[in-house]
């Protein structure tokens, strides 16, 4: 097969070289974007009188037929035609001869590939946004059921203060809200049309870039042809945004893994999202959560990979940039697998309210509130801290907790205590008393759930 760029060559490339530099194995997934971009380009060439209108119409019609044939699996690509752009052009020329050869007028594969990947990323950002939205809905709805499900809040993985499961879930909703906003922001900078940049220095043909921009649903076009062909910031931003999403999923997975252990028993994953062991009959493993946590590493890797690929590239296009796609595609695929699995896993897990409650009561999570009670009786906070610290030590030595001490035991450590302390340090009181914006009280959490519901209606 002769190359579309074969004119200045006398010998053909070696077949291993063909294999080495070909990208068709992975860039074929952009065939729809490539053809859609070519149709707009052909329409513009005709409208501008750069090629005859009848050629433009034939190109557009044939491109649509090629698209249909690819959709229906009727076309197999050829590694020798290098990439998706030249495979499609080759097919076009096979079908309509010289007219097919006019398509590439005023265009280079450099601006063509920049266009295709931008179109591809735009579409996938929208898909991932939808998955994040579904996850937020599940979390917000789950929170509605758990505004009174008391659990220990942790710092240093040590029981710290009582919160509710709803409060915990809504922390993640906040993270995913930010992720959604980051995707939207990445979308804005991806939504810029590079065609017309040519190979690097634009073109001598009177292209109508605004027309193509509008036809393809872009917001605007790139303002410097060198930048137009060499910018991959939007890919890096996407990978960075996806890395942050994975980091959030991974943290949540880590908690779910801990919570499903016998040591915690805060949740039980549904059988559909756990696996057994081939040797240990008792095991029910949180494999899905572990895999999501594990896959986070790769997504970070794709980000580092592309940052590193780009760091030394002189302007404008360099073939190194062909390396952008596999990481971007793989990261998108990873997110599109992890998000729905995660959402369903959380949606179907059983929440063990009793164990959460017992863990909250047994872990001195009300110690701060006991100290605050003393402060309200006029004791300076540092002294109160010291008194409660002594009481906690006493409890540890006597294997009991603050709620179960007798008034005599309290008063043996400080005469300030009276029986109203009991009511002030129930875990329910500890939660309800934290009725500031941001806190776990049922009242505030209900308002946050409503705010989230309204937000979810707007996206
Ligand atoms: N397959 C190439 C890529 O993905 C397309 C652009 C090729 N341009 C070139 N001048 N060789 O980057």
pLDDT at 1 over 70: no
In the chain, % helix, strand, coil (3-state, to 5) comes to: 65, 5, 30
Q: 412 with 403: CB under 8 angstroms?
A: no
pLDDT range class, residue 8, cuts 50, 70, 90: confident
Q: Select which of 156, 262, 278, 406 is catalytic.
A: 156
Tell me if the pTM is above 0.85. yes
| 157-188 confidence digits (pLDDT tens) | 999 999 999 999 999 999 999 999 999 999 99
| pLDDT at res. 262 | 94
Angle between helices 165-190 and 233-259 (to 10 degrees): 170
169 lines ligand 1 (CB under 6 A): no
Residue position matching structure tokens 């779910």: 256
| 194-243 confidence digits (pLDDT tens) | 999 999 999 999 999 999 999 999 999 999 999 999 999 999 999 999 99
| 9-46 confidence digits (pLDDT tens) | 877 777 788 899 999 999 999 999 999 999 999 999 99
pLDDT at 82 over 80: yes
Please give the angle made by the CA atoms of 386, 392 and 396, to the nearest 5 degrees: 145
Residue position matching structure tokens 């009582």: 162
- DSSP 8-state class, residue 204: S
Q: 303 with 240: CB under 8 angstroms?
A: yes
Concerning whether 248 is annotated as a catalytic residue, the answer is no
22 lines ligand 1 (CB under 6 A): no
| pLDDT at res. 5 | 79
| 111-140 confidence digits (pLDDT tens) | 999 999 999 999 999 999 999 999 999 999
Write down the number of H helices and E strands in the chain. Answer: 20, 6
Concerning whether 21 is annotated as a catalytic residue, the answer is no
C-alpha closest to that of 237 among 310, 322, 323, 148: 310
Question: In angstroms, what CA-CA distances link 104 with 4, 110, 195, 290, 369?
Answer: 11, 12, 12, 48, 73
Omega prior to 316 cis, within 30 of 0: yes
How close is the Cα of 320 to the center of ligand 1, in Å?
A: 9
Mean pLDDT across 297-318: 98
246 CB-near residues (< 8 Å, 6+ apart): 292, 295, 296, 299, 300, 334, 335, 338
How close is the Cα of 295 to the center of ligand 1, in Å?
A: 29
High-pLDDT (> 70) share of the chain, %:
100
273 CB-near residues (< 8 Å, 6+ apart): 286, 288, 289, 341, 344, 345, 348, 349
Q: 133 with 456: CB under 8 angstroms?
A: yes
């Amino acid at each position: 097969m002769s190359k579309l760029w074969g004119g200045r060559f006398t010998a053909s490339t070696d077949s291993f070289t063909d294999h080495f530099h070909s990208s068709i194995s992975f860039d074929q997934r952009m065939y729809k974007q490539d053809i859609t971009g070519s149709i707009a380009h052909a329409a513009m060439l005709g409208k501008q009188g750069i090629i005859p209108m009848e050629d433009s119409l034939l190109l557009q019609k044939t491109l649509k037929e090629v698209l249909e044939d690819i959709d229906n699996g009727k076309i197999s690509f050829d590694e020798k035609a290098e990439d998706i752009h030249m495979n499609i052009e080759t097919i076009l020329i096979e079908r309509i001869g010289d007219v097919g050869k006019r398509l590439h007028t005023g265009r280079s594969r450099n601006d063509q590939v920049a266009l295709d990947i931008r179109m591809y990323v735009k579409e996938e950002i929208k898909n991932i946004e939808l998955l994040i939205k579904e996850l937020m809905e599940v979390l917000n709805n789950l929170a509605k059921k758990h505004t009174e499900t008391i659990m220990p809040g942790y710092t240093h993985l040590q029981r710290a203060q009582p919160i509710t499961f709803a409060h915990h879930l809504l922390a993640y909703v906040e993270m995913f809200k930010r992720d959604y906003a980051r995707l939207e922001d990445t979308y804005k900078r991806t939504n810029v049309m590079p065609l017309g940049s040519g190979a690097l220095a634009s073109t001598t043909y009177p292209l109508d870039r605004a027309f193509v921009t509008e036809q393809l649903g872009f917001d605007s076009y790139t303002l410097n042809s060198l930048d137009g062909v060499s910018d991959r910031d939007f890919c890096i931003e996407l990978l960075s945004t996806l890395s942050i999403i994975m980091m959030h999923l991974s943290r949540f997975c880590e908690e779910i893994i801990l919570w499903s252990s016998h040591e915690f028993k805060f949740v039980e994953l549904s059988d559909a999202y756990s696996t057994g062991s081939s040797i240990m009959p008792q095991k029910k493993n949180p494999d899905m959560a572990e895999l999501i946590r594990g896959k986070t590493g790769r997504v970070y890797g794709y980000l580092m990979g592309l940052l590193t690929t780009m760091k030394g590239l002189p302007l404008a296009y360099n073939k190194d940039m062909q390396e952008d796609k596999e990481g971007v595609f793989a990261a998108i695929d990873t997110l599109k697998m992890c998000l729905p699995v995660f959402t369903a896993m959380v949606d179907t897990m059983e929440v063990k309210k009793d164990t959460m409650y017992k863990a909250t009561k047994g872990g001195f999570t009300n110690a701060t509130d006991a100290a605050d009670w003393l402060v309200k009786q006029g004791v300076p906070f540092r002294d109160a801290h010291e008194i409660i610290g002594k009481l906690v030590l006493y409890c540890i030595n006597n294997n009991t907790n603050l709620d179960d001490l007798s008034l005599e035991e309290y008063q043996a450590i400080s005469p300030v205590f009276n029986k109203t302390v009991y009511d002030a340090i129930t875990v329910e009181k500890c939660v309800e008393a934290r009725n500031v914006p941001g806190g776990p009280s049922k009242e505030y959490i209900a308002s946050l759930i409503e705010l989230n519901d309204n937000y979810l209606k707007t996206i």
